[in-house]
Amino acid sequence: MAIFYNLIVGFFGSFVGVLPPGLINMYAAKISMKEGRKKGLLFSLGVCITVMAQTYIALLFARSIEMHPEIVNMLQKVALGIFISLTIYFVFIAKDTRREIRDREAHSKTNRFFSGIFIASLNLLPLPYWVYLSITFSAFNLFSFSQLELWIAVIASGLGTFGSLAFYVQYFRPKEESRKMKINMNYVIGLVTAIISVITFLKILKEF
């Protein structure tokens, strides 16, 4: 079951983590619109390579600090504040993602696979994200830091990232009726962060 848990946490943790509209996924969408779906998927594949490397580093760090409960408790309290803030931001403050995607950038001649690796390497958020996520699920016996299970989570994180980016590549097509999103994704992300906040809060209460 440990392998299955790591697979699920790795895939959905990464899928949800990449889902909020940001530089990487919106860039993948623009590449798809301008240069075709294949270029967008090639860019996404490069992003996945970097995300898998970052996930592996984060999980190794999480495995080492898991043996120090005082550090884990502090991280959980900090994470609770962060996720509550994110919930408030995405639900009440963030701009509506259903607005039109503007086409302002010129075509790039850079190999899209390597540009995906480079752009993803500038984003360091997966490191603290996976440290927190793995430790939290490990506390509920839903994540294992054994070597095989750890690699399963790393591979699953790459698949989840690719799945999320593929959604953007496929969804945003160069057609007038497809240039606007029909759903405000910020509400979806706000719901997810709210659920994570509740889980974290219950975990903190359990330890008192």
Give the pLDDT confidence of 164-174 residue by residue, as tens digits.
999 989 876 54
Residue 155 in tokens: 């591979």
pLDDT tens track, the chain, 208 positions: 899 999 999 999 999 888 776 778 888 988 888 888 899 999 999 999 999 999 999 999 888 887 777 777 777 777 778 778 877 876 777 655 555 545 444 444 458 999 999 989 888 888 888 988 898 888 788 899 999 999 999 999 999 999 999 998 987 654 444 445 555 656 766 777 787 778 778 777 776 6
Distance CA(18)–CA(166), nearest Å, equals 11
Amino acid at 155: I
In degrees, rounded to 5, the angle at the alpha carbon of residue 66 between the alpha carbons of residues 65 and 71 is 60
Residue 50 in tokens: 């970097």
Residue 11 in tokens: 């895939």
Q: Name the DSSP letter for residue 145.
A: -
Q: Name the DSSP letter for residue 67.
A: T
pLDDT of residue 172: 65
Q: Pick left, alpha or beta for residue 36 (phi over 0 → left; psi -120 to 50 → alpha; otherwise beta).
A: left
Residue 69 in tokens: 């409960």
Which residue, 204, 186, 201, is CA-closest to 88?
A: 186
As for how many domains the chain has, the answer is: 1
175 C-beta neighbours (distance < 10 Å), count: 8
Domain span including residue 124: 2-102+110-207
Q: Is this prediction's pTM over 0.85?
A: no
What are the DSSP calls for 14-45, one per residue? HHHHH-S--HHHHHHHHHHHHH-HHHHHHHHH
Give the alpha-carbon dihedral of 187, 21, 19, 31, to 10 degrees: 150
Give the alpha-carbon dihedral of 132, 138, 144, 145, to 10 degrees: 50
- For residues 166 and 88, the answer to whether their CB atoms sit within 8 Å is no
